[in-house]
Structure 1
Amino acid sequence: MAVTATAAASAVTVVSLAAPPVAAAPAATAAPRPGDSCTAADLGTRHPYIKTTEVSPTITHFKGWYVTEGTTGQQTVSTDTTTVIAVSVGLNDTIETSFAVEALSEVKATVGLDVKLSYTSTSVESNSVTWNLTQPGYYGFYKGTKKVTGTYGSLNCNRAQQDDGSWALEWTEGPGSGSFTTFTTLEEGAVRCQDSVPADSIMAKAQALLDCGSAAAKADHPAGAVAPTARQEQDRPAPSPAPTGGPSAEQPGATGAGARAALDCSAEAYKIAVPGKPLSWGAPLLADDGVRLRPSTIFSAHLDHWRLCDVTESNGVIEASLWNWGNGGCATIAEANAATDRAVLMTAPCAEDDLQRFYIYRDVPGSSKIGVQNKYTGSMMGYDRYADGEFIRQYSTGRQDGTGTFNLTGV
């Protein structure tokens, strides 16, 4: 009788029909889609937009095992690792930012599978498989999962001209994209060459690794492990290369600190201010300090004046370096803190470096409201609370309470 492998750890949710009624949970806010309307408070925010997905049944652990007469029954086999899958969004494999978590939640909704939403790896799984064998034969003991990969974009709120010539704020696909990887809960089992299994299933992938030959050839093996076939050797993961660092996959091109760049700056200077309030971005006097909210006074010494330099525009989005008139430095996120949510905005000697480049999203014409995004990290600029001396920081999805929206006003 053929052995049919089944998932060993299927999660089952039991709902009691006799449970007392409870208040309905508030409906989750639907993720914005390209072309949806947004408001000025959204200028300083962004959301992930899942562009493509692919689901691939993948074997992560495998061992060929021959069972002779008299050796059937429950057996525990230590498998070999064939593939390691780790959760990642861009080059961020810590999944500590709200953007990465939101992106994986969008993946879950898109593919309809219960995928991992935080960092983990299949390498942390035990490699042993325990299975009850009722017939002798050549078995593949395996663990496997559905690997989910794809690409994402960044949705930002920005002005868009309508067909009638008017302007409106819409969620548009902004600069920056990347790829993601996640996976479902691992299943384990044992399968023989003669077992009938669903096509393109995890079990079928394991059966293919058996590289089934003649039954007589398999019978030559004693009970126990079977030497790996050429196919199995080929499918084993290659050793991981040593990390070399480098820029984010989401925003490639950072070149690191270099010689001071010769900037082509606008003649006009600006304040980057909190709408309707007296505090605005002020550059630090000390090199190890950060950009803070400050009131403008006669003693400000132009530290609250910024010029837009090397300005380009694409699809209505401005890209520029922000040069400070008071200290002569350019706004930047320190390279060591690039992957850190809430990292403080600094100033540094100007260089050709994407850490010093910013996207500026604008309200409709006639309004000076903007949102500011770092090109390299993809994070939006904002602040934790409105107070004199409060740091300007980066937030992966921005500040959802509107504290990432500023006024860009000429001085």
Structure 2
Amino acid sequence: MRFRQVHPVLSRLTTGAASLALIATSALAGVTALAGPAAAAGDPRAGEACTSADLGKRHPFIKSVKVEPTITHFKGYFVTAGSTGSQSVKLSTQTQVTVEVGTSTTITVGFAFEVLTKAETAVNRTVKKTTATTSAEEQTITWNFTQPGYYGLYQGTRKVTGEYGSLNCDRVDRGDGTYATQWTERPGGRYTTFSTIEEGAIRCEDQVPAGSIMKKAQEILGCEGTAAKERATGKAPAPDSAHKGQEASVNGERGAGSVPPGFTCLPGKYRIGTPDRKLFWVTYGAGDYFRLRPGPRLPEGGTWSMCEGPQSNGKTEYALVNSYKGRCATMTDHSGSEGAQFRMDPCRTADDYQRFYLYRDVPGSDLIGLQLKANGYMVGQERVVDDTAMRQYSQGKADGTGTYVLEKI
């Protein structure tokens, strides 16, 4: 959907001074590097205490933000003395802006939405917080030209970009022989969104604020010695992570019962369950999904090998190999869908959709949270009830049900 913020008074441009009076409130472009994690009231901050119920949660924060005027459509148009009045003009596409958080352009309620909500607060301007892209098609606008001259007709927006990070609850060493659980900063990524679409007409003699969309249109018109009608280049789409995962699996699958190279399994077997130890992760029968099932007498499908691998992003990677299936816990839905279901798949040499980070409670406790390396999503389930499937959630579960016990048996 395309939103317009039309300034009808600008369709009757008269003098540069009059134009300036009308648009003097335009915002300037700029970069804001926030001093530490920016959090709204009530949001956690790095270094603050967390509880075991927070081990399966994840919160975003904005590290930096940049607002830049961007012309999406443009046309240089000459109006002679005898051709003033209302005219319809076709504008050519200059560039596209796509809403993106990390590598995902599909925005749903969850972590990505919260990133964009916090970015909106940081710039104090309404931005798109849903799946959206500015139009790639020609646009036609109708404008009332009251004076002859050379005009730049445009549609544009303010592109908002920056970096975000995430906070996870984890065990930290206080340095005096004691431990605590605190919110710790974890890697994030980059985000892009845009504000309301505006359209207008501008001349070189019009005085406009620096950093405004109109100023950007003047640059494209060639008013300040920039290359005439300079075309902005669009960013090439990021490689599809789903395809990367599929490519990794070709000639990369490990045989049943094997462990990915570079991973060493901890001694013994483990089971993973709810903190009350009534329900545990189990895979059974012909299916490859794993679900919560009652204990304590679990079939072999309820035991797991915890295999440690290399470190990445400051944390040790784990592969979770099921004792019955001889396969690795895997997220096979690479779309980033909220609530997508985990399943068992052959262990692969390289596949971030089979790698997990563990967040631990203080020593003496076996409570953990699990995070998928590929997209940062946390492991959880819709309800804590018999036969509920294990799923991924971008922010974890707000009710704390993404906290599990890792119990050696």
The TM-score range, normalised by the shorter chain, is 0.7 to 0.9
1:341 has 2:334 as partner:
no
SS, match of residue 66 in structure 1? strand
Q: How does 1:10-409 map to 2 (within 5 A)?
A: 30-123=42-135, 127-162=139-174, 164-174=176-186, 176-212=187-223, 231-232=228-229, 234-237=230-233, 245-246=240-241, 255-256=248-249, 258-260=252-254, 261-262=260-261, 263-286=263-286, 288-296=287-295, 298=297, 300-312=298-310, 317-334=315-332, 336-352=333-349, 353-409=351-407
Distance change >3 Å, CA 48–CA 74, structure 1 → 2: same
Aligned mates of 1:29, 1:256 — CA distance in 2: 44
Question: Identity rate of aligned residues, in percent?
Answer: 45
Letter aligned with residue 350 of structure 1: C
Q: Closer, same or farther in 2 for the Cα pair 1:118/1:401, shift >3 Å?
A: same
Q: CA deviation at 1:102?
A: 0.6
CA shift for structure 1 position 310 = 2.9
Work out the CA distance in 2 between the residues paired with 1:369 and 1:196. Answer: 63
- The C-alpha deviation readout for 1:81-112, integer Å capped at 9, x for no partner, is 11111111122111025111011011111222
Q: Please, which runs of 5 or more residues in structure 1 have no aligned partner?
A: 11-27, 215-228
* Unmatched runs of 5 consecutive residues or more in structure 2: 1-13, 27-39, 255-259
Structure 1: which amino acid aligns with 2:248?
T
Q: 1:179 to 1:84 in 2, by over 3 A?
A: same
Q: Deviations over 1:178-231 (max 9, x none)?
A: 2111011011111111111111211001011111499xxxxxxxxxxxxxx963
Within 1, Cα distance between the matches of 2:308 and 2:129?
39
CA offsets 1:261-314 (integer angstroms, 9 cap, x no match): 35521112111110114111112332x43110012354x332111121134567
- Scaled by the length of structure 1, what TM-score is found? 0.82
1:57, CA displacement in angstroms?
0.8
Q: Which moved more, 1:117-126 or 1:253-262?
A: 253-262
Q: Does structure 2 conserve the Cα–Cα contact (< 8 Å) formed by 1:296 and 1:304?
A: no
> CA, structure 1 residues 406+246, in 2 after alignment: closer, same or farther (shift >3 Å)?
closer
Summarize the Cα distance change of 1:88–1:314 in structure 2 as closer, same or farther, 3 Å threshold. Answer: closer
Please say if residues 273 and 280 of structure 2, whose CA atoms lie closer than 8 Å, have aligned partners that are also in contact.
Answer: yes
CA contact (8 A) 2:288 2:345 kept: no
How far residue 341 of structure 1 moved from its aligned partner, in angstroms, is 1.5
In 2, Cα distance between equivalents of 1:152 and 1:57: 21
Where 1:179 maps in the other structure, the secondary structure is strand
C-alpha displacement of 1:391: 0.5
For 1:354 and 1:314, how far apart are their aligned partners in 2? Answer: 11
| Residues 92 and 138 in structure 2, CA contact (< 8 A), matched pair in contact too | no
| Deviation (angstroms), 1:132 | 2.8
One-letter identity of the residue aligned with 1:140 = G
Give deviations 1:236-261, integer Å, cap 9, x for gaps.
546x8798534699xx9983352313
307-316 or 112-121, larger mean C-alpha shift: 307-316
Q: TM-score, normalised by structure 2?
A: 0.82
Q: Which moved more, 1:277-286 or 1:83-92?
A: 277-286
1:2 aligns with 2:2: no
Q: 1:379: Cα distance to partner?
A: 0.8
| Secondary structure of the corresponding residue to residue 204 of structure 1 | helix
Q: CA–CA distance in 2 between the matches of 1:173 and 1:256?
A: 31
Q: In the aligned structure 2, how far is the partner of 1:209 from the partner of 1:314? A: 44
The residue matched to 1:115 in structure 2 has which SS?
Answer: coil
In the alignment of these two chains, the number of paired residues is 370
Deviations 1:40-98 (A, max 9, x none): 11110101122222111111111111111132233332211111111111221110251
Give RMSD over aligned pairs. Answer: 2.9
Q: Structure 2: how far apart are the matches of 1:242 and 1:166?
A: 47
